[in-house]
Each structure stands twice: as structure tokens, then as C-alpha cells.
Chain A
Amino acid sequence: MPFNPLEHRGIPLDRQVRSWRELNVEPIDPDHCDPYTRCRVITMNGIEVEAIMFSHQLARHTKDPEVKRQLARTRYVEAQQQKAVNWLLPGVSSVLETTIAYEQVAVDLTAWVARMEPDPYLKQAYQFGVLEDFDHLYRYANLYEMIEHRKAEAIVDGLTEVMPGRPTRLHHRNPVDNVRDPYDRTRTDPLSKLHALTILSAEQQTMNFYMNTGPTYMEPIARQLYQEIGLIEEEHVTHYESLVDPGETWWEQLVNHEYNECYLYYSFMEQESDPKVKALWELHLNMELEHLHIACDLMRRHDNRDPAEVLAPELPNVLTFEPNKGYLRELLATQIDLTTLGAGYVREAHERFEEMQARIHGGEAAPSDRVMDQHQEVFGRQYRLETEGEHPVAALPENQ
């Protein structure tokens, strides 16, 4: 049934602040949960973190103290939402275990968005990026088996394959080649705006997670791998955020944020298998409907525009976590050797790319390659999870 968030009112804002008891959520069981429940938790945490940081930036650009106070009220509730969501992750999980779940999110969320994206240029941006997340999952999975003697399949549960993507060492591009062209806010499909905001939030959260948890490891190879992949997340945030039209006003951006939160909580409520988690998605949807309403009022007041002009008339198809194995294999077979040049994509290693590669690797093997060598020494093999047969690329680039 079509759902138009603009037509619904949620919980009044002054009834949204929760007590400690209400925030004390019961964590999911890392050994028995639906892997996609964990993916939804990680996604919504990234979305809430973006909501909070966006609101802070907006407040710093706002002169009117009354508006600052209004933003602070909503933002406090968003900060509580972030706590309720992220605290669903269990304390017994290791950082590396959570990292593998983050990469499963990056793979299956980006692949789904690439499949559904109507704009061909934007679709290409997601297709390009997902092959890199796919390789990160493979590298971390090998590190995980080395440090904890656990296989990534105990986390991804056969829903996502674990095997080489575009080799991580080749992700280090000249920063200027990470900047894409933006969509045109006046012409683009409203769904494209939601996709861009969702993926940039997820990648930003991944960047923050790796930059902060990487140094908690003692093993030199682990510390180095987090540094390397953490820097690629910086590239990915640049890549995805540049897709958003910078001509959107602050208020329009605020409305898009709140609308996207409604879309995602609604989507996840529809597909959630864990009843306790489903109840949380439903509660948060009912909070977001009110946040959206408040954001729309601010946009009307400050931009003199009706938010309905920039939003979809109803929510798009629910965003779904599901296996994307066939799609990813097709991309591997056709796009593994791409890199970027300016705002486009090429197959050859151009001069600016080669210069960056020479500088960052300094003539040595990258951590992402050394982790494979060390794994090979310990186990005499690589770790892969190929549920659908051989890897689609017969001759992978060297050092796999």
C-alpha cells in the first residue's frame, strides 16, 4: 500500500524523549541473529549519525536563536535514536566481527541501490564503488580468520559471497579523481536523492568507525589494514557526497534527511524478522514523521516553498536487504578493471593514477596484499566463500 509520510503525523516531539530504562535495549545475539538484522542496525546507525552531524552543521550556520533551539530539540531525540539503534550491537562482538558486518552492509546495500537507481550516471557510481567494498570484505575476512580463527561465513551466513573484487591496492586514486558530477535537483528522480543520501551516510559511518577503532588493534597487520581501508572510505565519502546537488538549500537538505529516515525506517519495519527490532523501527518511524513535519514547516518558512515540490508523492519501493550474488558477479566480470579519471571512468592506468599509486605504496606491498601473504603462511590457502561456483574473473590482477 502506498505510504505518503507527508500525510501522517507522528508522536508529538515533547513526548519523544526516552528514559534510561527505555534506552536500555537488549542487544542482538551475534551467533544466532539474522545477518540482515545486523545490517539494518548498522545502516540506521549511520543514518542517525548523519542526521545528528548535519543538524549540528545547520545550527552552526543559523543565526536565529529560536531556530537553533528548534534544531536542538529534534537533534536531542535523534541522538537518543542513535543510541537505541547502535546499542543493539552486542558487547561480546569484536571490532573485526562488526567490521565484517559493516562490509556486508556496504556490499548488499550499495548493490541494491545500484540495481534500483534510475539515473545511469548515478548507477555507474554505485556499481564502481560496490566492487571496492566487496574486496574490503574479502581482506578483512582473511584478517578475521588469522586473528580469531573464525570464518566470515559465520557472520554473513552465506547471504553474501566473500572473494576478490577490484584489488584494494588499486583503490588509492588521486583525490581529485574521486569528485563526481552532481545530479540536478530540479530534474532528478526523488528516489535518486534518497539513494545518494543513504549511501553517503553509510560510507561516512564506515569511515568514522575505521578511523576510530583501527588503532585499538595490537597486531601490526590489523592496524595497517584499517589505516589503508580507512583512507579508501575517505575516497568513498568524497565520491558519493559529490553526487548530491550542492544547490539544495539547507532547509531542502533538512527535509530530504528527514524524509529519507522515514523511508528507511518504514522499509526496515516492513522486512524485519526480529520482532523486538521491528518494534523499534516502528517507534522510530513514528518519531521521524514528526521530525519531517517540523522540517517541512522550517522549509516553508525560510524558503517560501512547498516541500511537496521536492519530495516524492509517496514512498518508493521499500529498500531491501537481500542477496545480490548474481548482480555482483556480473559487475565483477565487466567492471573489475575500472578506475576514475576526472568525473568519469576509464580502464587504463593513467598518469595521475600511476603517480598516486607510486607515492602511497612507496615501492612496497600494500597492507591489503600483505594480509593475504600472512594468511597464506599461516593456513597455506586463502579464505574465500564462493557459494555460486568459481570466481567469474579467470585471470585476476596479480597478487590476489
Chain B
Amino acid sequence: MTHTHTPHAGDDNAADTDVVTLLMRQHGDIRNLFDEVEASTGDDRKDAFRRLVRLLAVHETAEEEVVHPFARRAFPGAEEVVDERLAEEHKAKESLAALEDLDTEDPEFLPRLRVLRESVQTHARAEERYEFTHIRRSADTARLASMAKGVKAAEAMAPTRPHPGVESRAANMALGPVAALMDRTKDAVRKAMGKDG
């Protein structure tokens, strides 16, 4: 049986010059991690869950900092579309908070993970259908590329997979609670987007 691993968005050889392509691949990465958490046990599950939480935090922060602000100004009715996405994100964060302090072996863990998974998945598809299509339509290639750069800066701030041999100081740092991670990601994105944004 073949066992091939799908690298995370940004770690494959794709050009990553289009923020929408990059984020859609990240949506798949998140869904893969949900699969991994559900399929594993013990320390493997703890580890997979930690990576899932990190990726979610980085991904949502990057969207809030890079994509939603652009989308808000991009098309008629955008304010409402973005507000609906933020409401979904808020709901997902609540589901995440309900999980954060739970041991991964707790009998409540998997049912609550399922709730989180459903809200994350609904949110991701809604973004792809109601927000990303407008971004592709209204952003020129330079803009799509600069936004992609911002998203990649967020990833670099909090790597969600170990990079053998090239561990940075940031990657080795204890990451701390999700809220702190989001703050640090925000700073990194703002710094990277400074020139372009």
C-alpha cells in the first residue's frame, strides 16, 4: 500500500502567487488534520490536535488580517458577506474554546471535535463560494500575490509541521495558548504586508 503524505500549503512546490489557491489548499490541510486527530490515539492524537489548533489559529488570523479587509471593499454587498464569515469564525472559535482545556482522551473530546469540524467545514466552503470568488474577480495578479505573501508570513511565524533540519527559533519556541499565538501571527502578517498593504 502506498503511503504518500500531502505537504501543507506553502510546503509543496506550487507557485503560491494566488492567495485563493493557497487558502483553498489550507482548507484541505485543516480537513486532513481533523481526519488525523480522529484516527489517532494517545500521544499521537495530542500531537495531531496541537498541530490542528495551530493551523486553525494561523489560518483564521491570516484571513482576518489579509483577506477579509480586502474583501470588504471589493464588491457590492461585501460588508454583509464578510460579517457572516466573521460570525462563522466566532462560532468556530467558541467550539474550539470548548475543546481547548479538554484532554484528548476525554469521552467528550470526539463529540465536541465533531461539532468544531462541522462549523469549520461550513465556514471554509462558505468562504470559497461567497467570498473567494469575488476576490479572484476583483483583485489583480499583483494583489493576489501580495496577499499570498501575507498568508505565508503567518505560516512561517508558527510552523504547523516540523521542518527537519531547518528549525527556526520561532518554530522551537513554546507556542503558548492560542490567543497569544494569534497575536504573534497578527504582528507577523502586518509586518509582511507593510509594504504592500
Residues of A within 8 A of B (CB): 31, 91-92, 94, 145-151, 154, 218-219, 377-381, 383-387
Contact = CB atoms under 8 A, between A and B. Distances in A.
A378 B31 CA distance: 20
B136 interface: yes
Contacts of A31: 31, 34-35, 117, 121
Given A149-B27, A219-B21, 20 more contacts: A31-B34, A94-B128, A145-B6, A146-B14, A147-B21, A147-B25, A148-B25, A149-B24, A150-B28, A150-B31, A150-B32, A151-B4, A151-B32, A154-B35, A218-B133, A379-B4, A379-B6, A384-B4, A386-B1, A387-B1
B121 A151 contact: no
Interface in B1-44: 1-2, 4, 6-9, 12-14, 21, 24-29, 31-32, 34-35
Given A31-B34, A151-B6, A381-B4, A91 B14 contact: no
B121 A149 contact: no
Contact of A149 (B32, B34, B122): B32
B15 to A, nearest CB: 9
Contact of B28 (A148, A379, A385): A148
A390 to B, nearest CB: 10
Contacts of A149: 6, 8-9, 24-29, 32
Contacts of A385: 1-2
Q: Which of B2, B4, B29, B117 has the most CB of A within 10 A?
A: B2
Contact of B6 (A150, A384, A386, A387): A150
Leading 9 A-B pairs by shortest Cβ distance: A149-B28, A148-B28, A149-B25, A150-B28, A378-B14, A92-B125, A92-B121, A378-B12, A387-B1
Interface of B: 1-2, 4, 6-9, 12-14, 21, 24-29, 31-32, 34-35, 117, 121-122, 125, 128, 133, 136
27 contacts: A31-B31, A31-B121, A91-B125, A92-B125, A94-B128, A148-B27, A149-B25, A149-B26, A149-B27, A149-B28, A149-B29, A150-B6, A151-B6, A154-B35, A218-B133, A218-B136, A377-B13, A378-B13, A379-B4, A379-B7, A379-B12, A380-B13, A384-B2, A384-B4, A385-B2, A386-B2, A387-B1
B131 to A, nearest CB: 14
Contacts of A147: 21, 24-25
Contacts, number: 62
B4 to A, nearest CB: 6
A120 to B, nearest CB: 34
A245 B9 CA distance: 53
B161 to A, nearest CB: 13
Contacts of B12: 378-379
Q: Which of A91, A218, A385, A386 has the most CB of B within 10 A?
A: A218
Contacts of A387: 1
A91 to B, nearest CB: 7
Contacts of B125: 91-92, 94
Contacts of A386: 1-2
A151 B5 CA distance: 9
Contacts of B21: 147, 219
A218 B60 CA distance: 23
Contact of A148 (B4, B7, B24): B24
A145 B31 CA distance: 12
Contacts of B4: 151, 379, 381, 383-384
Contacts of A154: 31-32, 35
Nearest to B117: A31
A338 B112 CA distance: 52
Contacts of A377: 13
Contacts of B6: 145, 149-151, 379
Contacts of A94: 125, 128
Nearest to A386: B2
A228 to B, nearest CB: 22
Nearest to B132: A218
A147 B25 CA distance: 6
B196 to A, nearest CB: 23
Contacts of A380: 13
A92 B26 CA distance: 16
Contacts of B9: 149
A295 to B, nearest CB: 41
A367 to B, nearest CB: 18
Contacts of A378: 12-14
B85 to A, nearest CB: 15
Contacts of A218: 133, 136
A384 B2 CA distance: 7
A378 B28 CA distance: 15
A51 to B, nearest CB: 31
